[in-house]
Structure 1
Amino acid sequence: MTGQFPALPRWSIAALIALAFACASGTASAQTIQTSVPHAILVDADTHSVLFEKDADAPAVPASTVKIMTAEVVFNELAEGRIKLDDQFLITENAWRTGGAPARSSSMFAAVNSRVRVEDLIRGLVIDSGNDAAIALAEGIAGSEGAFATLMMKRGRDLGLTQSVFTNSWGKDDPEQRVSPREMTILAAHVIATYPEYYKYFAEKEFTWNKIKQTNRNPLLTMDIGADGLKTGNIDASGYGLVGSAVQNGQRLILALYGAASAKERAEEARKLLQWGFRSFDSKTIFAAGETVGYAKVYGGVSFEAPLVAEHEVKILVPRVGGEKFTGRIVYDGPLMAPVAAGKEVARLKIFRGSTEVLDLPLKTAAAVEVGSLPRRAMDAGLEYIGDLFRKYVGSKLDKKYVANQ
């Protein structure tokens, strides 16, 4: 029977939430700060709220910030037990010549044909930004740079990075290798939350290998702002980029910016945005964990709808000065078809500050909805048929009106 029905449309419930935190003086815009860099986004790690963004979905050349994805693959291999920190990988001729001393690029200066512990290669990767370390890790894990790039892409898609494309482990200029600044904050948040025992390497301020001491290239680590990671990047095609994170008073912010004109501009703009973020917002809880957020329509069930809940407490950051109006939507493919199991992820909660989407979280069904009686299913079929006719009729009228106005 279900195969005879038309394709189900995408439904959205608009204005689910009207959250007004306005002062008596009136509503002011939260995004009052400006930045000179062309691409930037600042995110609160706990609430996932977007505090600031500027062209954050445009494709950017990652340069060495791609090494965060390289590190994620390495950390995942460690977590899965496929490699160990004490394992030793060979510094091949390719790793040495392409990314080592002969290349005259960022390097940990590992000797050709030497064997280096994975832990030391990680330090060479994230502290020295060593291209030789990145290539050695790629070859040691996957057998070749190309095979490792395939792993990077798979891990990226598994983590929900749908726009970013990874083609090499060290940030070599490649017209196909591009990242979204927004997705780089998602990647950084994942690395920080999932691998605390390995994330610590990003905070180390220096590393010595082959009697050569190098300081961490992340300028945030020398500032008194609570920074503890992640990576910088710079090649001619990218300008100066940075993905960084800092913690103050228990609050963690994550920043991605790309296209700065100089290392100085990159450092100054990163500091400015982080300091602004820490002093400009307060956290507000809008739904407790397990609290019903809304409902999804159900077709052919004992109930017309299924309650939806968030797995964790839902919080947003609200400007301390002025006020801001937030609106929310529940978005899902529906109506859902009975039977509907409890605990199934079927929708997303999207919260907007003005026109800016500041939160996007999954929602699950709080209770099961069993298949309804034959009369109930017949009634649902009739309602769906009438609704489909109405949508087709209204759509055809709108199309004709649009054509007539050309």
Structure 2
Amino acid sequence: MRRLAFAILGLFLAAQGQAQSIVPAPPQVAAEAFILVDAATGFVIASEKPDAALPPASLTKLMTSYVLANEIAEGRLSRDEQVVVSENSWSQNPVFNGSSLMWIEPGKDVTIGELERGIVIASGNDATVAVAEHIAGSEEAFAELMNQHAERLGLSNSHFMNSHGLPDPNHYTTARDLAKLSAAIIREFPEHYARYKELDYTYNDIKQYNRNKLLREDPSVDGLKTGYTSEAGYGLVASAKRGDMRLISVVLGTSSPTARKNETRSLLNYGFRFYETARLLDAGEELEKPRVWKGQVDYAPVGVLDEIVLTLPRGKRQQVEQRVALVDDIEAPLAVGDSVGTLTLLLDGELLYQGPVVALEAVAPGGFFARLWDIILMWLASLFGG
């Protein structure tokens, strides 16, 4: 029979006389699909049709810029590197007629760093094609590279046919996948992510402004990207950080630039007001120091190797209940990370987390007589139920 050891994280508030945290329903969002996610935990705070496959328009450029940032991080590309502008990537390509452009020209030098800003800030379709051809040789080969990264990142309902997002029946993604992609950009490429909060960019004597208007209206917002085609409607992927909490919001298929901005603001305010990112256990935190049999020491610390961070209703952190269940007989040898039990975290009787309790220190086997003595003690304990 497993032994249960109960502990309370912080103060477990008594029910009587205590006001309970009330979390209202999420706001109504006028969009084809939306999702609000805690960037640290991946917890979905609110959503509607998060897995509906929809045309992303210029939100495609999040994946284009992810591939670009990855190539730089891997050392295969430099921001100072010069790029040849082809006729295909020229701003006067009829395919780009009426769409957003960086205004690059054949025969005029342009660097990867300039194209990076041209994609992120100016949303230039010409810039995406120049980057695609420079990295992969062709738009088709680059699209395949985008899909390989999508698969690796777990974007299970996305498929890319081009680098810019102009309509194609086989070019689609979802609100959930865009949130995952945005979290990866923020987590993996902080230097690149910093480009998303820049308010304007001038190239070829043309000054263009970041279309994410929340950057000018909410100081907590520091990215990411807008998108629009008549087929896709108006979309916005935004991220904001207030205190220790970062949220990612995705709205797709709204009716106007003002609508996408306002719906995003409503979602972000809801998430920050009613939820918090709670670090419940630190990496390497000890939970107990149980008896270890047949080892060079009689007791050893056990706990969690990695920090445990969860999204909770605001004000509920102190009411999380922690349960540690250890195996009956823990025996040496033990290596750091060996599982010796299970940790369960509950809130109001609902499961929040369950994972292994592990050895935090290695325990080598004891000598022959020490092991023999422990075997005798374990046998006696089994006879008398100790």
Q: Name the TM tier (shorter chain).
A: 0.7 to 0.9
Structure 2 counterpart of 1:52, which letter?
A
1:232-271 correspondence to structure 2 within 5 Å: 232-271=226-265
| 1:106 aligned residue (100, 103, 107) | 100
Q: TM-score, normalised by structure 1?
A: 0.69
**What does the per-residue CA deviation read over 1:338-388, in whole Å, with 9 as the maximum and x for residues that have no partner?**
xxx97699xxx999999x99x8999797699xxxxxxxxxxxxxxxxxxxx
* Pairwise CA distance, 1:50: 2.1
Tell whether the 8 Å contact from 1:287 to 1:315 is kept in structure 2 after alignment.
Answer: no
- Other structure's SS at 2:270 match: helix
CA offsets 1:198-255 (integer angstroms, 9 cap, x no match): 1111111111111111101112111134211111111111111111111223432111
Q: Is it true that 1:317 corresponds to 2:312 in the alignment? A: yes
What corresponds to 2:165 in structure 1?
Answer: 171
Summarize the alignment of residues 66-81 of structure 1 with structure 2, pairs less than 5 Å apart: 66-81=60-75
**Which residue number corresponds to residue 145 of structure 1?**
139
CA distance in 2, matches of 1:360, 1:164: 29
Match of residue 181 from structure 1? 175
Does structure 2 retain, via aligned residues, the 8 Å contact 1:37–1:260?
Answer: yes
Equivalent residue number for residue 203 of structure 2? 209
Distance 1:99 1:73, change over 3 A: farther
Matches within 5 A, 1:79-118: 79-96=73-90, 103-118=97-112
- Structure 1 unaligned segments of length 5 or more: list them: 1-17, 294-306, 329-340, 369-406
Q: Name the % identity.
A: 39
Output the amino acid matched with 1:149: A
Answer yes or no: is the 8 Å Cα contact 2:23–2:313 preserved in 1: no
Q: Name the stretch that deviates more: 311-320 or 216-225.
A: 311-320
Q: CA deviation at 1:318?
A: 1.4
**What are the equivalent positions in structure 2 for 1:2-401 lying under 5 Å apart?**
24=18, 28-96=22-90, 103-290=97-284, 309=304, 311-320=306-315
Distance 1:308 1:97, change over 3 A: same
- Between the aligned partners of 2:355 and 2:237, the Cα distance in structure 1 is 25
User: 2 CA distance for matches of 1:125 and 1:362?
Assistant: 41
53 and 28 in structure 1: CA distance in 2 versus 1, 3 angstrom threshold: same
How far the C-alpha of 1:262 sits from its partner, in A, is 1.1
Shift of 1:79: 0.6
Match of 1:376 in 2: none
Instruction: Rate the CA distance shift 1:276–1:211 in 2: closer, same or farther, 3 A.
Output: same
AA aligned to 2:308 is E
Q: CA deviation at 1:85?
A: 0.5
Aligned residues: 331
Unaligned runs of 5+ in 2: 1-7, 288-301, 323-334, 363-386
Letter in 2 for 1:211: D
Equivalent residues of 2:40, 2:277 under 8 A apart: no
TM-aligned CA distance change 1:362 to 1:134, over 3 Å = farther
- Aligned residue for 1:95, secondary structure, equals coil
Residue aligned with 1:93, SS: coil
Write the distance in 2 (CA, Å) between the matches of 1:119 and 1:29: 44
Instruction: Tell me which amino acid in the other structure corresponds to 2:57.
Output: A
Superposed CA deviations along residues 67-111 of structure 1, whole A, max 9, x for unmatched, are 011001000100111010111111111111576896221000111
CA RMSD of aligned residues (A): 4.1
Check whether the contact 1:30–1:319 (CA below 8 A) recurs between aligned residues: no
Deviations 1:271-328 (A, max 9, x none): 11112222222343444434699xxxxxxxxxxxxx99563322222135x99x9999
Cα distance change, pair 38–109 in 1 and its aligned pair in 2 (3 A)? same
* Deviation of 1:49 (Å): 2.6
* Rg larger in structure: 2
